[in-house]
Amino acid sequence: MQILSVMEKKKTAGVVAENDYVIRVLDTPHQIDAAQWNTLLAAQDPASGMNPFMRHEYLSAMLDSGSAIPETGWTARFVTLSDGSELIAACALYLKDHSYGEYVFDHAWANAYHQHGLAYYPKALIAPPFTPVPGARLLARDAATRALLLKAVVAWCAGEKLSSLHLLFAADEDVAACEEVGLMLRHNVQFHWVNRAPTLGTGVSSLPPGGALRLRPGEAGSAAPAGEGGDSCLGSSRSFRDFDEFLMSLSQDKRKKIRQERRKVKEAGVTFRWSQGLDISHADWDFFYSCYERTYYEHGNAPYLSRDFFQRMADTMPENWLLFVAEREGLPIATSLIAISSRGERANYQFDSLPAVDVAYGRYWGATERVDCLHFEACYYQPLQWCIEHGYQRFEGGAQGEHKMARALLPVKTTSAHWLAHPAFADAVERFLAREGQGIENYMEDLERRNPFRQPTDPGPAP
């Protein structure tokens, strides 16, 4: 354990609070009280749905299972800010000697350092390993404490002579802290689905032709498609009643394509069953892992996560997992594992009075047989149907993939933040990010023109 500093009352008067604060850098989450960590997580923006990937159990399993350890290029350094015995801010930081498993690509930056005889690795990363899911990264009781935590982290990185600090897939509150501290922002695009049956004043089930895919004003780091906050242009709206009503909201060509794809899977003799939490059997976990492992090896890579990691998920946070199993002639042939925000978690940590959003996250898939359109059915249509039937408001489809738009997953911006110690490289990266950012804006505008939902002028559904 490393104690960074103890800030006296006179040094913090009028900045954060009257108390003394102690900042520690720890080697393992086991040095942090799990209940305090999870309570702090539950106090973050309820729109994150009590993001399961920042739970103490999830981060502990990454370490204990051997999935994110120094030998795989992930050296943990958990930074905490305490007021007496109370944890008031914390983040999961990793020292990296490569850039794999991050999904925000900086290989070109590393190459530029190398070409100039400088070391880019080790670098510091704030994000759960192998998990490109937007959410809170700087857990804190308020904005001032969050900024104080980030300043301490940047100072520690400079003291350790690290090349850089990268905070990935940040929540809006994190983005605000990063801007205050002076980190550079970088944007990317993911595709998310919202369980919202929009209606125009005429009663036509449709999204408006313009602006439907934009973020809400003032939410630079938001991971929520426009309309989720009750945009006035949508008029009244509600959740979809069933999958058929969802299909009816799409344009005719998209609706026809989805029906064709689902029909191909059904005609191939494939059926699906799903299990949640403790109902997922050990045999199903084993079959899932064999599919997950096979997917990685088919792409020439070893899997990031071990079987032991998923066993720990089954043992410590089963309520956060939903498994779809595809079967043919009574035998399993494919699986899709979905993470979900548990509705009981916020109540467990006494934040049940806050309006939370129920979110499902597409995570892992694999198959032992090739069936046309099976991937779309397992990874999109089955989860979306489940979300509609169980009242979940959002499904996040994971990193990348324009093809998701045809399945009504809309583009949203995600935000990362970056600090580089070398002034000249920081200037060069800042110029690069300005150009890249304009490219992202143009890309979003292009995607908006491909709105998959019905417009008022579209033909009605086929009889």
**Confidence label for 293 from pLDDT (cuts 50, 70 and 90):** very high
**For 17-54, how does the pLDDT look when each residue is reduced to its tens digit (9 = 90+)?**
335 789 999 999 999 999 999 999 999 977 665 789 99
Number of independent structural domains in the chain: 2
Whether pLDDT at 325 is above 80: yes
Does one domain contain both 149 and 256?
A: no
Looking at the domain assignment, is residue 459 inside a domain? no
Please report which helix (H) or strand (E) contains residue 291, including its range.
helix 282-298
Whether pLDDT at 6 is above 50: no
Is residue 24 within 8 Å of residue 6, measured between CB atoms?
Answer: no
Pick the more confident residue, 189 or 232: 189
What span, in angstroms and rounded, lies between the C-alpha atoms of 452 and 435? 28
What span, in angstroms and rounded, lies between the C-alpha atoms of 179 and 369? 48
Pick the more confident residue, 409 or 231: 409
4-18, 211-225, 232-246, 283-297: range with highest mean pLDDT? 283-297
Does one domain contain both 155 and 214?
A: no
Structural domain ending residue among the three candidates 148, 164, 182: 182
User: Is 0.85 surpassed by the pTM of this model?
Assistant: yes
Looking at the domain assignment, is residue 221 inside a domain? yes
Does one domain contain both 219 and 132?
A: no
- Whole-number pLDDT of residue 454: 86
Mean pLDDT of the chain: 86
- Its domain, for residue 236, covers 192-411
Does one domain contain both 288 and 263?
A: yes
**Confidence label for 235 from pLDDT (cuts 50, 70 and 90):** very low
- Whole-number pLDDT of residue 357: 83
Does one domain contain both 118 and 19?
A: yes
- Cα angle at 339 between 86 and 32, to 5 degrees? 20
Lowest mean pLDDT among 32-46, 198-212, 418-432: 198-212
Cα 386 to Cα 31, 195, 260, 324, 377, distances in angstroms: 38, 11, 20, 10, 12
Whether pLDDT at 14 is above 50: no
As beta bridge partners, residue 3 has 24
Does one domain contain both 163 and 198?
A: no
- Whole-number pLDDT of residue 48: 60
Does one domain contain both 253 and 392?
A: yes
Whether pLDDT at 408 is above 90: yes
Structural domain ending residue among the three candidates 116, 151, 182: 182
Does one domain contain both 91 and 211?
A: no
**For 50-106, how does the pLDDT look when each residue is reduced to its tens digit (9 = 90+)?**
789 999 999 999 999 999 999 999 999 999 999 999 999 999 999 999 999 999 999
**For 162-185, how does the pLDDT look when each residue is reduced to its tens digit (9 = 90+)?**
999 999 999 999 999 999 999 999
Does one domain contain both 325 and 375?
A: yes
As beta bridge partners, residue 437 has none
Contacts of 463 (CB under 8 A, 6+ apart): none
Residue type at 370 in one-letter notation: R
- Whole-number pLDDT of residue 399: 81
Structural domain ending residue among the three candidates 365, 394, 411: 411
Looking at the domain assignment, is residue 248 inside a domain? yes
Report, as an integer, the average pLDDT of 279-308: 96
